[in-house]
Amino acid sequence: MPAPLAVTCGDPSGIGPELAARIARDGAPAPMVWIGDPRHLPATTRWQAVSSPLAPVPDGVLAVLPLPFAAAATPGQPDPANAAGTIAAIERAVALVQSGACSAVVTAPINKKALKDGAGFAFPGHTEFLAHLAGGAEVVMMLACPGLRVVPATIHIALSEVPRTLTADLLHRTIAITHAALRRDFGLSDPRIAVAGLNPHAGEGGAMGHEEGAFIAPLIRTLQARGMRVSGPLPADTMFHPAARARYDAAICMYHDQALIPIKTIDFAGGVNITLGLPFVRTSPDHGTAYDIAGQGVADPASMRAAMIMAWDMAQARG
């Protein structure tokens, strides 16, 4: 039996536990083991505790590696008392993948404030924590769906801070990590990467900004001279229609919304968050804890299922 996916519980007051239960019930797209406290699963869940990720369970039954949490969970009401358990589930999933017992990590959504309040969580989010667990790996965030892959060079910062944060070095690292991941994780021997401009019309020759001429275009020319198939800087407003998307395998964007608006417009329910640059595969659904609908049994599992499929495919690509 191939090593299963290590699926974390996420915030137990969010929709993570019910998504795992529903996916197992309906037929998981890949072998999986769930890491969390069984008390946090919906009461109707068919689950079985296992001592090893490879232990077989009947069809429709959720394999659970039990991890006791400090408290029960009330849907929609995050409890800082469970912060340590949420963090421990992520750590255990990473350890299982690093040991070879699991093939990839799939993380359910977390509440960063609850983790900070309850356990002094010192990281902005999953991505930075996973990089820490991987020994300080340089990582970037990719959002992907069947029709588009996007990578923002800057992420969770104010728009006013983007011009100060965006540098040639940062952009170079982002492109390099993306290029390597497209080859290793997606099986593309010669990936095509499109780079957006920062300013409207990609600066229009300096009339609407100087960053394109100062360092974005020169960097692209340098990478092209090294044999990399990189194009740009391109006006972001014409990069995401179907004909434009057919010309590249991934788009490098300059800031958060420039990347996330197109992918959430194209495939809101099926987007997947991928951390590139880690020594192991990690994916996550591209949505949050959804406290407003947690416990009601109406959460859409499409993104979580897509995250599992992508994690499985990426793990197989790595061999």
The domain defined by 1-140+269-319 folds into Isopropylmalate Dehydrogenase (3.40.718)
Does the CA dihedral 312-317-318-319 come out positive or negative? positive
Residue 151 has pLDDT above 90, yes or no: yes
The stretch 259-263 carries a mean pLDDT of 96
pLDDT of 23 reads 98
Report yes or no: 36 and 63 within 8 Å, Cβ to Cβ. Answer: no
Residue ranges of the domains in the chain?
A: 1-140+269-319, 147-266
pLDDT band at residue 25 using 50, 70 and 90 as cut-offs: very high
Would you call the peptide bond into 42 cis, given omega within 30 degrees of 0 as the criterion?
no
pLDDT band at residue 304 using 50, 70 and 90 as cut-offs: very high
Same fold, 1-140+269-319 and 147-266: yes
Write the single-letter amino acid at 244. Answer: A
Q: Which long-range contacts (CB under 8 A, 24 or more apart) does 298-303 make?
A: 299/15, 299/18, 299/19, 299/22, 300/269, 301/19, 301/22, 301/23, 301/26, 302/269, 302/270, 303/269, 303/270, 303/271, 303/272
The stretch 161-165 carries a mean pLDDT of 95
pLDDT of 204 reads 87
Q: pLDDT (tens digit, 9 = 90+) per residue, 185-210?
A: 999 999 999 999 999 999 888 888 89
Quote the DSSP letter at residue 39: G
pLDDT of 1 reads 60
Please give the share of the chain, as a percent, with pLDDT higher than 70. Answer: 100
Residues 6 or more apart from 73 whose CB is under 8 A from it?
12, 13, 17, 37, 39, 40, 79, 82
The stretch 24-50 carries a mean pLDDT of 97
Strands 192-196 and 229-234: parallel
Structure tokens at 33: 């083991």
Residue 45 has pLDDT above 90, yes or no: yes
The stretch 79-87 carries a mean pLDDT of 96
pTM: 0.93
**Which region among 60-69, 80-89, 122-131 has the lowest average model confidence (pLDDT)?**
122-131
Mean pLDDT of the chain: 95
Residues 6 or more apart from 92 whose CB is under 8 A from it?
6, 35, 65, 67
Choices 3.10.560.10, 3.40.718.10, 2.60.120.200, 1.10.3210.10: CATH for 147-266: 3.40.718.10
